[in-house]
Structures are given as C-alpha cells and as structure tokens.
Amino acid sequence: MQKPRRMTPNVAVLFHYTHQRKGSDEGMPLVPLTQVLGEAVKGGYGVGAFNCNNMEQVQSIMKAAQECKSPVILQASRGALKYTNMVYLKHLVQAAVEEHPEIPVVLHLDHGTLEAVKQAIPLGFTSVMIDGSHLPFEENVAVTKEVVALAHDHGVSVEAELGTLGGIEEDVVGEVQLTDPDQAAEFVERTGCDALALAIGTSHGAYKFKAEPKLAIDLVAEVWDRVHIPLVMHGASSVPQDLVAEINKYGGKLEATYGVPISAIQATIKYGVRKINVDTDIRLASTAAVRKLLAEEPQKFDLRDYMSAAREAMTKIVSRRMHEFGCAGHAFDYKPITIADMKVKYAQ
C-alpha cells in the first residue's frame, strides 16, 4: 500500500489557509454604495473612490484602507474592464475582500454605458454609474431610469451624472457645463438614482488646469438642499506637484498642470459631496516610484522590485486622501449589509 505523500511546509500552510477560508465567502461580501454613502452623510465625511486596473493598485488601496480603518470604493472604468478582460478584475477584488473582511468595500463601475452596466452586474459589482451627461436632458433621464430599474432589481446602487466636466479620461471627453440645480431636483425625482455626480468646474485627467481652479462650491450646497441624496465629485485628483517634479526628474515630460486643491474638496464635503473620485494621483505616484527606482538602480529588471515601489507609493497617496476626506477611522461604525438586503429594501 502506497504511503500518502507528505506535504512540504509551504503546501501545508496553503492547505491550512484554504481550508480555513473554505465556505467563508458569504461572510465577507461586497457592500452596496447606498449604505456606505448613507453612513458618510450621517458622519459628515467623504469616501474616496479609487480607480484600479491591476493587482498592485488593488493591494495598495486595500492596505491603505486597513491602515486607516476606512471604508473604501474600488472603481473600475470600462477601460479597466477591457484591460483585465473583466474576469481578472473580478477575482482580484474577491481576493481583496477575502484578505480584508473587516473593511466595507464597494465595487463600482465608473462612467458606464447601458451595455457596460449589463456586464458589470453579473460580475458582482455592487454599484454602477450610468453616464448620460453627454445626452440631452430627457434622454439622460430615460437611460438613467432604465438603469435604475435594472440595477435595483439586483440590489445594486446607481450613480448618475448631470452636467459635464472638461478634460479627457480614457474615452470620456467633455467641455464644462455646470449642473443646473433646478434640473438636478427634477432629474433625481424622475430617475430614482442613489447618488448624483455634479459638474462644478473640475476636469478629468492629469492636465486639469493651468492655474489653481475656482470651483462652484456654492452650487454643491444649492443642489444638496434640493435633492438630499449623496453627491459625487469627479475629476478630484490634486495632481501633487512633488510627484510631477519627481517624474520629470527621472526622464518624464509632463507639462505644467494643476489639480483640485484639497481645501476645495474638503469645502464640498461640508456641503454634501460624499464620494470623491481619485485616479490620476494614483497613476502619478506609481509612475514616479517606478521611474526613480529604475533610474537609481538601472541593474534592476525584476518586475517585483519596481512594482513593489509603485505599490508602496500608491498606498501612501491613498492613505493621505482617506485622512483628508475624513473617512479614516469609520470602517467599524456600522454593520455592512449586502446587495441581497438592498434588493429587499428597493422592492419595498
């Protein structure tokens, strides 16, 4: 009779880990955006929504959330879904939730179309954005209403947008058209969306402003008074000048540019902004770290060396934003619910 093979120490550890975790997925689900932003309304803080495309970005955002004890929104654009062939991103986020079951995590589709929404919901996204801001008002209402009906039937939250931002982000191109408060009230009433992205003068991408911007902060307060649902700020990266300088020092050629001042973001949080989108700052942090390491240690060629540096830099910038937005320390304020719970609430 053949004796059973003895497991090596590494295999034994993996065996123990997977069997300890087996069947535990139900105990650590992703959380609906509606709950996370609702709690932010109660606490008077904003929650960072950080775009991710690969493992290191997911790991860095989650490490920052753990260290800051903060709820977090992991965002994926249509470009991210294409880059990761969808299924890879799905399992990266599942791994993040499994490793950090104590952290409320939302998986959100950024700048979605109706088709993208239909792809995201079966992948397990707990929140979707339908971006009809480029459409005439009535068409925006119609497509948003359709997405709300579809998403709510699955317990999934919906963010919509009214007004347009400037700049370029992937295939999102726009000119600034500020949100109309009267239209905002009508839009929310007719669509039933859970959160509303505003156009208050911010811009997508790294090249936002040639000088420090002046945002329409009073507009935020006026819209909040009329709609009373969580508001969203897009294009909220601050484009830290030290990171731009670091990139250019080590061979980059970024043009002079300015982002959204943290003080301006904090002012909008006081008036009702609860979700703050950050993408460019994370890209700048990782690029600066990679360029620096490869320039100072040109003998390096192991991806793990320079991606570790990038991961550390991204963790640092995300952690800083969590403190600045006020969400640090709020991960344990409430008991997370699931999209199954939200499905029941929406049905009622």
Q: Which of 172, 168, 184 is nearest to 131 (CA)?
A: 172
Distance CA 50, CA 277 (A): 6
CA angle 153/155/159 to nearest 5° reads 95
Query: Is the C-alpha dihedral spanning 279, 237, 256, 296 positive or negative?
Result: negative
Q: So which residues are the catalytic ones?
A: 110
H or E segment to which residue 278 belongs? strand 273-278
CA distance 103 to 235: 25
CB–CB of 191/145 below 8 Å? yes
* Pairing between β-strand 47-51 and β-strand 195-198 as defined by DSSP bridges: unpaired
Concatenated DSSP letters of 85-108: TTHHHHHHHHHHHHH-TTS-EEEE
Looking from the CA of 27 toward its CB, the CA atoms found within 13 Å total 10
